[in-house]
Amino acid sequence: MSPLLINWLLGALLLLVGVIAVALLRLMLCRSLTDQILCIQLLGIGGTAMLLLMATLLQQPALIDVALLLVLLAAVMVLVITRRECRDE
């Protein structure tokens, strides 16, 4: 892998760390269900993108499986929150 590509991937990885930090902060501060769901989805997508970039950088294909599992867990978490809120109403 060329050094230029590695630098670009590391830059994208740092950008994703910033996006995840903002999503975590927003998740702690938000009150509405819609904001919580969007933040959880953003965390799942950001974490997945980070794992896919790391799989490419480290040449570890097992990280791709972990990334897919993270997306699945984020989707299930949204379903759990939605059902809980619907049951409470």
Nearest CA to 44 out of 77, 3, 80 is that of: 77
Position 87 scores a pLDDT of 78
CATH topology classification for 3-88: Helix Hairpins (1.10.287)
**Every domain of the chain and the residues it spans:** 3-88
User: What is the phi/psi pair of residue 51, to 5°?
Assistant: -65, -35
pLDDT tens for 39-67 read 888 988 999 999 999 999 999 999 999 99
CB contact at 8 A, 51 and 17: no
* DSSP label at residue 32: S
- One-letter amino acid identity for 59? Q
Report how far residue 19's alpha carbon sits from residue 53's, in angstroms, rounded to the nearest whole number: 15
Confidence of residue 31 (pLDDT cuts 50, 70, 90): confident
Distances (CA, A) of 48 to 36, 38, 43, 54: 18, 15, 8, 10
Mean pLDDT within 59-76 = 92
